[in-house]
Structure 1
């Protein structure tokens, strides 16, 4: 950790990740509030999240093959400054009194198309400034910061909306994004030669990113596990409000606490992972953590006390992030440099697809079998693929030396 603290480039990246994470959670919260203030429609608030996630999926599809053509430093700066420019649209509309729901939807769509660029670029760039033996701690640190931003973003947004005008809040947000981009100007370029990089068609490069998963069965199976994890997450989050109010006889404060439970658990898990110098059996840690997350998701459906439900949701988030951090480190160590960016984006695409599918499917299932059986079913959907993975030969590669089983990708 001392090496990371002395690494000025890593500190600047950490700052940029923090601003980006806060901006993402806070901005969509702000757009939702402005839309509700304009329309008074709860349904409209729900649709704005669906539009946001759908836009991010489109970005993953389109931008994946192109990410590796450019310096990741420039991509991160572009992402921060472009978001600042996008926020000028609602700011100008608020100042001249012409803000409409259509403008807010346009803003959310544009944010969704830009937001997925920063984190894959950041994860790929990290290997240029951090030694391999420090990647796990670096990833855990960035994940901790991201979860802190997810926890305080909506709360901070609610406080600021109560004391400041919306246009003032947007000006602050724009200023932070611009300053973040300026800070990133001081990090070095990637340690990579860009001259002579072959530029193929979009389809051929996207196919190359997909081919990595076909050629490396371990990563293909892990991508499948991530899909089921995000399916469960997408189904769980929208159901927490009716679950707390109807099944636990809770109130709005308890709903707020349990909604933040996953983020608190992820923060705690990130801090735990960052305290270890190195891991033991990676197969045991990753699959074990994922299996335990499914067990605690099942337990949510069997408890009647709020504090037990909160404990289960916290531990669910804790074990999910243990899997995520080790998974990210695995990609950084074993994916070839020339395709790492597009592989991260393809992985993100596979992961994010599970969220809207889970949200729609979960609501439908809850109507038929109820909330409690829904959580039990979601837990099983996580546990069963893990049981299968324990017995697959591909997962034995998790304990092999980093990089020795990764195949070079060529089309």
Structure 2
């Protein structure tokens, strides 16, 4: 029997075919948009670009100073536990003041807070330079100055991450957060390597002086940023009520809560491994300050690679799945690093650790930026950033394990603990979802 197609049906068939063709072209165009140029998409916004450059400059100086700090501490004490105590003094103020900082970030002008932090951070650096110049530097000086520096910087993470949404349109938040972390990891890669070289060229004091200069330049650059003023600065209300409001929201947001608990677990059992890299450099891999600089730069290099991918095609993947992958693979790579006696294999494994670690934090930040209300952003971000304060606990835990069991076995044990906890956490989240 012949089949007759009416003009209307023929038109429908043609329309469907055309629609498929158009959709295919749109998919191709969408893919083109995710190519490398998309990675730097947010830099077309003047204020974001200025913020990104100034933050990159400050972070670069900080990592130069951090290598110098770890190196001179180990030179003075020759103790892994001393490195852990130093990490405790650096992170403890962030744990104590970090949650409170969220209320200030939501209440006051974020740009002004960031500028004040940059300039004030130069004060403990100047004190160090004065003590160092007189040749009277002792370990307790480093501890006191780290407490002061950590107290001043406690508000910086929440303010910096909360202001991102005021510098780009909502549809570019994922790219902006990823690119912000790419910049941080560029500094994390270049800073330690540069620091290792500068220790040989200009000494520890020169590294600290360079950091002071970058802080002042960073603060001056932020004066010219013009954030979106849609968010009105809040009038002062009951501090306690505002403080509790942020925690209450987090408690009733399962995905955000899971991300935060995983971040705390990483902080205690994973993140402070970098404080003990001087032990691996000197005693396991037998390399000098240049080798230490390479080891400390490797996680940043891995982070840049993974974040470049996230910035370009991150929206295609399920965020909860990515969180689970990063929280399980990162401790595995750290365990393998602890077992490696080969320098370049160790560098590769540290790069993979860094890729997982910073990708996890980036995805967590994006989830908060997309889901948390604007009027609670600072407080929710400050609860998340308490993980930086939790590093004080991690420094003691990992320092004790490294002292009792040796750095390789001690860090492998803490990494295995993190793997168990995060696996159980996301299994529970998945079960709750179903």
Residue-by-residue CA offset, 1:151-175 (whole Å, 9 max, x unaligned): 3323333433444476665554433
Q: 2:328 maps to what in 1?
A: 291
- Structure 2 matches for 1:392-407, cutoff 5 A? 392-393=429-430, 396=433
- Structure 2 matches for 1:35-74, cutoff 5 A? 40-43=76-79, 47-74=85-112
Q: 1:406 maps to what in 2?
A: none
Q: Does 1:280 align with 2:317?
A: yes
8 Å contact from structure 1 (residues 68, 339) kept in 2: yes
- Aligned-pair CA distance for 1:254: 5.2
Instruction: Mark the CA change 1:326 to 1:100 in structure 2 (over 3 Å): closer, same or farther.
Output: same
- Aligned-pair CA distance for 1:193: 4.9
Residue from 213, 223, 226 that aligns with 2:250: 213
Instruction: Mark the CA change 1:302 to 1:30 in structure 2 (over 3 Å): closer, same or farther.
Output: closer
- The range that moved more, 53-62 or 383-392, is 383-392
Residue from 362, 387, 392 that aligns with 2:398: 362
8 Å contact from structure 2 (residues 102, 380) kept in 1: yes
- The range that moved more, 203-212 or 8-17, is 203-212
Output the CA distance in 2 between the equivalents of 1:355 and 1:365.
15
8 Å contact from structure 2 (residues 101, 158) kept in 1: no
- The range that moved more, 205-214 or 300-309, is 300-309
Q: 1:345 maps to what in 2?
A: 382
Output the CA distance in 2 between the equivalents of 1:309 and 1:393.
34
- Structure 2 matches for 1:386-397, cutoff 5 A? 386-393=423-430, 396=433
Output the CA distance in 1 between the equivalents of 2:41 and 2:275.
41
Q: 1:19 maps to what in 2?
A: 57
Instruction: Mark the CA change 1:163 to 1:68 in structure 2 (over 3 Å): closer, same or farther.
Output: same
- State the TM-score, normalized to the length of structure 1: 0.81
Instruction: Mark the CA change 1:258 to 1:224 in structure 2 (over 3 Å): closer, same or farther.
Output: same
Report 1 or 2 for greater relative contact order, CA contacts < 8 Å, sequence distance ≥ 6. 2
Output the CA distance in 1 between the equivalents of 2:408 and 2:418.
15
What is the aligned residue count? Answer: 391
Residue from 139, 164, 167 that aligns with 2:177: 139
- Structure 2 matches for 1:134-173, cutoff 5 A? 134-164=172-202, 170-173=208-211
Residue from 226, 229, 236 that aligns with 2:273: 236
- The range that moved more, 12-21 or 82-91, is 82-91
8 Å contact from structure 1 (residues 237, 259) kept in 2: yes
- State the TM-score, normalized to the length of structure 2: 0.77
- Structure 2 matches for 1:310-329, cutoff 5 A? 310-329=347-366
Output the CA distance in 1 between the equivalents of 2:169 and 2:351.
31
- Aligned-pair CA distance for 1:339: 1.6
8 Å contact from structure 2 (residues 95, 390) kept in 1: no
- Aligned-pair CA distance for 1:282: 1.8
Q: Which runs of 5+ in 1 are unaligned?
A: 398-411
Instruction: Mark the CA change 1:76 to 1:319 in structure 2 (over 3 Å): closer, same or farther.
Output: same
CA RMSD of the aligned region, Å?
A: 3.3
- Aligned-pair CA distance for 1:86: 4.0
Q: 2:26 maps to what in 1?
A: none
Instruction: Mark the CA change 1:293 to 1:36 in structure 2 (over 3 Å): closer, same or farther.
Output: closer
